[in-house]
Structure 1
Amino acid sequence: MHGQAIVFILAGYDTVATVLSFTLFFLAMHPECCQKAQAEVDAKCGKEFPDYDKVQTLTYLDMCINEAIRLVPPGIFLNRKCVQDTDIQGVHFPKDMIVVIPVYAFHTDPDLFPEPEKFDPERFNPENKTTRHQYAHLPFGQGPRNCIGMRLALLELKMVMAAILQKLTPVPCSKTVYPIKLSKMQAKAQDGLWVKFQLRDAKT
């Protein structure tokens, strides 16, 4: 339990910062999505701080975050240990075998996500989510051993994103490199993530 508490706080720091950076970057590259997210934040939060109750209503912003996590998952693979002999579609998995789950491969499989390199938050609207296999999107794992900090991470992301979008608009700058060139073994842009921010309203 003590170890889980440490993971809960410390391991989520870099993950949240990474997802936040990529989400803002993708919104800068897709102004139509950014405008839609800002319109939702304006309608649901107004000028007030986006607290817990308010961010639960930000459906489109949640879609944007999930699409960013799909394109650049913080963990590109998961490891799981078989607790008993198992056969799945004719493949035998012996007890104690370590199974590597290729998260990034799932997230960029065109059979699961058509045009997988495209940033499209509509993939995660309520209708599309129900028609896709529940294990197609695995940024936090699945089942009883999924990420213990998932709900906290998503809450932090939505609160910070909403607070930023209330006052600022991310836009490309002279150093922006797009499409992103990712490092091979981690969710990191080789050329960095460069954007600039414009004030939405000088009075805010």
Structure 2
Amino acid sequence: MRYGENPHQAAALYRDPVPMSGSLTAATLIQGRALSFNNIADADTALECVNAFPKGIGCVIVKHANPCGVAIANNTLQAYERAFATDPTSAFGGIIAFNRALDEKTVTAILDRQFVEVIIAPSITLEARRCLAEKENIRVLESGPTDPRTFHHLSLRRVSGGLLVQTQDLGTIAETDLKSMTQRTANAEELRDLCLPGESRSS
């Protein structure tokens, strides 16, 4: 790649000898230029987050390493609309990941609403690809079906003189774990939205 997080930083991407299906390094670039350092980092964040909900149809939008929209729904279009509605301003120029096949209706909604850097999904319909081809600068990745082991890896962080290692954070939060810190208590619907119940990969 041309440079790292900033133009003055050199960078490279190393992949596992046999990357697992559904991982970022196993994904196929369908269209667009090669991903930048920041594209790769944000796409991986989005992909890992959306795959935390294997039982639901999910969409995650990431901008500057932070999820700014996360939603599960009955279909990809609804999931995208809910994720986008979370923070439309931050979604501009973001990375969008899905955990189900991407269809034409969803692509049309994305292109009508926002500028997007990268879209990644397990599979992309032919009609959706044709629609995306009209915006050739969008980087589009097809990740393939997710191997359940893909995101159960160790978390590594370089520190001066060593390496900090821990297992992945696969913990879940139940409604009973939540405590209101304000005068207004969240209602039942808000609590369900906060917990995205029953959808974590660790359940």
Q: Indicate the structure with greater helix content.
A: 1
Q: TM-score when scaled to structure 1?
A: 0.28
Higher relative contact order (CA 8 A, sep 6+): 1
Q: Indicate the structure with greater strand content.
A: 2
User: Whose radius of gyration is greater, 1 or 2?
Assistant: 1
Q: TM-score when scaled to structure 2?
A: 0.28
